[in-house]
């Protein structure tokens, strides 16, 4: 059975790249009727926070990326990690190293002089026939892996293809610090093995850890999983995506009014493809997903495409689904459902997010203050005011439905021999304070007779 995991470190916000990793792990497991687990890598006590854990859980549940089984908290496996380290020591796959900070600094400088990569020189590495230095008193050792000295570590990366690294390039990695705490690479391997993870799908930033981890797997006698390293997501400037490029955390996208369907769909397509298809539900993604279709080159984050997808999913929703997603502040101020429904129908084509909808709805539902001079100069004159007054009388004599208002407008421009925008634009400016809106006839009907008359008289 295929088993994958998402293993975030709760040290900050849940990055959009992290969530893409989660989506790929989720989709791959579901595609093969396998299991998708969540492991919180909280061993960095100083930097891990409950708040960050909550954000991870919130983001995943918002995106419907439901994990199987219980959440694994890595820090709780501390004793198990130490048990494995003890076994490695016992079987001669690891050793105690008493080199001091100064010794290590000296080794670093020696390597630098020789122009080679800094590396532990093996002083404390036991070898047959070698006499180790006397153990210094009062020093707690670190524990190092006895990394093979020659040969290569080779794996078939599911995204990058075959990767081979010389053991000579790898250090005798520290598995346990002198304070007794296990190190990151050891903990990841033990947890993945204990959880029965078959496929490790994670960011490219971990690719250097993989040969080290494979050597730990071998030393422990654990089955080695398949690895798939995902390329980074870049901003439009080609640099690694970060806060600098705007919103980067998943919860921020929710606050900005994006729908989970759109975020999932967008991130799934960021680095993975299925022909030319662009629109996928999470279920469809799980059906179609394959590691082979992940690109090995970096992807570029394109907010316009996310907006386009969000608009696509927004339009598919009915108003009942939308109204529960509006911000409480908005819902408190505007509660006339009939009007909101009318606005949604009228505006949904031009809304890229729920916040766009709120901004538009607010514009319709509140009379404009401080209309810009530019708009007044462009559209308002004695002639246009006179036309608006005439139209007002005509509208008021009608039943005030959008059909009647539109019929009146059409007839009016015909008799006056003017173009439609010559009345539509001044109406928009006076009623909404903008020269951009959907059908002005429908807007007037939505406002209703009283509101229309008030706004018009006030502005005139
Ligand atoms: N905790 C690591 C991170 O957040 C992931 C480790 C892994 O996937 O192996 O980057």
Residue closest by Cα to atom 10 of ligand 1: 8
| Contact yes or no for 455/369 (Cβ under 8 A) | no
| Contact yes or no for 45/75 (Cβ under 8 A) | yes
Q: Do the domains 373-459 and 1-68+231-316 match in fold?
A: no
Residue 209 CA: nearest ligand 1 atom is 9
CA of 82 to the centre of ligand 1 (A): 20
CA of 65 to the centre of ligand 1 (A): 17
Q: Provide the residue ranges of all domains of the chain, joining segments of one domain with +.
A: 1-68+231-316, 78-184, 373-459
Cβ neighbours, 10 Å, residue 208: 11
CA of 40 to the centre of ligand 1 (A): 9
Q: What is the pLDDT along the chain (460 residues), one digit of tens a residue?
A: 999 999 999 998 888 999 999 999 999 999 999 999 999 999 998 999 999 999 999 999 999 999 999 999 999 999 999 999 999 999 999 999 999 999 999 999 999 999 988 899 999 999 999 999 999 999 999 999 999 999 999 999 999 999 999 999 999 999 999 999 999 999 999 999 999 999 999 999 999 999 999 999 999 999 999 999 999 999 888 888 877 777 778 989 999 999 999 999 999 999 999 999 999 999 999 999 999 999 999 999 999 999 999 999 999 999 999 999 999 999 999 989 999 999 999 999 999 999 999 999 999 999 999 899 999 999 999 999 999 999 999 999 999 999 999 999 999 999 999 999 999 999 999 999 999 999 999 999 999 999 999 999 998 8
Q: Does residue 206 have its Cβ closer than 6 Å to ligand 1?
A: yes
Which fold, 78-184? 3.90.800
Nearest in space to 189 (alpha carbons), one of 9, 23, 7 = 7
- Residue 243 marked as a ligand binder: yes
Q: What is the model's pTM?
A: 0.92
DSSP states along 31-94: HTT-EEEEEE----TTT--HHHHHHHHHHHHHTT-PPSSPPEEGGGGHHHHHHHHHHHHHTTSE
CA of 7 to the centre of ligand 1 (A): 5
Nearest in space to 186 (alpha carbons), one of 145, 141, 229 = 145
Q: Does domain 1-68+231-316 have CATH number 3.40.50.620?
A: yes
Nearest in space to 20 (alpha carbons), one of 32, 9, 8, 12 = 8
3-state secondary structure of 366: coil
Residue closest by Cα to atom 6 of ligand 1: 7
Architecture of domain 373-459: Orthogonal Bundle (1.10)
Q: Does residue 269 have its Cβ closer than 6 Å to ligand 1?
A: no
| 94-97 vs 142-145, strand pairing mode | antiparallel
Query: What is the pLDDT, as a whole number, of residue 244?
Result: 76
CA of 86 to the centre of ligand 1 (A): 24
Residue 5 CA: nearest ligand 1 atom is 8
């Amino acid at each position: 059975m295929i088993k994958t995991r998402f293993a975030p470190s709760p040290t900050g916000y849940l990055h959009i790249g992290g969530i893409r990793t989660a989506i790929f792990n989720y989709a791959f497991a579901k595609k093969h009727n396998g299991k998708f687990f969540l492991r919180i890598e909280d061993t960095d006590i100083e930097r891990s926070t409950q708040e960050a854990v909550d954000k991870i859980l919130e983001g995943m549940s918002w995106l419907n990326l439901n994990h199987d089984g219980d959440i694994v908290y890595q820090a709780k496996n501390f004793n198990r990690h130490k048990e494995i380290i003890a076994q490695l020591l016992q079987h001669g796959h690891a050793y105690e190293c008493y080199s001091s900070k100064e010794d290590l600094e000296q080794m670093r400088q020696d390597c630098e002089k020789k122009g080679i990569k800094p590396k532990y020189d093996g002083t404390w590495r036991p070898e047959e026939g070698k006499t180790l230095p006397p153990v210094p008193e009062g020093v707690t050792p670190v524990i190092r892996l006895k990394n093979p000295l020659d040969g290569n570590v080779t794996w078939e990366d599911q995204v990058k293809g075959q990767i081979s690294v010389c053991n000579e390039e790898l250090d005798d990695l520290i598995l346990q610090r002198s304070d007794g705490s296990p190190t990151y690479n050891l903990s990841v391997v033990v947890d993945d093995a204990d959880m029965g993870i078959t496929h490790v799908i994670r960011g490219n930033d971990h690719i250097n850890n993989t040969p080290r981890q494979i050597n730990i797997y071998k030393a422990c006698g654990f089955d080695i999983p398949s690895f798939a390293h995902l390329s980074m997501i870049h901003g439009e400037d080609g640099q690694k995506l970060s806060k600098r490029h705007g919103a980067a955390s998943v919860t921020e996208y929710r606050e900005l009014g994006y729908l989970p369907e759109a975020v999932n769909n967008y991130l799934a397509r960021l680095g993975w493809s299925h022909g030319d298809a662009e629109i996928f539900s999470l279920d469809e993604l799980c059906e179609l997903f394959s590691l082979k279709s992940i690109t090995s080159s970096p992807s570029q984050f394109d907010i316009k495409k996310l907006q386009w997808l969000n608009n696509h999913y927004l339009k598919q929703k009915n108003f009942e689904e939308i109204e529960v997603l509006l911000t409480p502040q908005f819902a408190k101020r505007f509660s006339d459902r009939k009007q909101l429904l009318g606005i949604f129908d009228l505006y949904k084509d031009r809304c890229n997010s729920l916040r766009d909808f709120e901004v538009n709805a607010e514009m319709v539902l509140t009379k404009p203050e401080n209309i810009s001079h530019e708009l007044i100069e462009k559209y308002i004159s004695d002639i246009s005011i006179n036309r608006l007054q005439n139209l007002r009388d005509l509208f008021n004599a009608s039943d005030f439905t959008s059909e009647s208002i539109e019929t009146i407008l059409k007839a009016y421009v015909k008799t006056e021999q003017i173009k439609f925008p010559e009345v539509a634009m001044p109406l928009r400016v006076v009623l909404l304070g903008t020269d951009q809106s959907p059908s002005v006839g429908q807007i007037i009907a939505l406002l209703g007779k009283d509101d229309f008359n008030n706004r018009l008289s006030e502005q005139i």
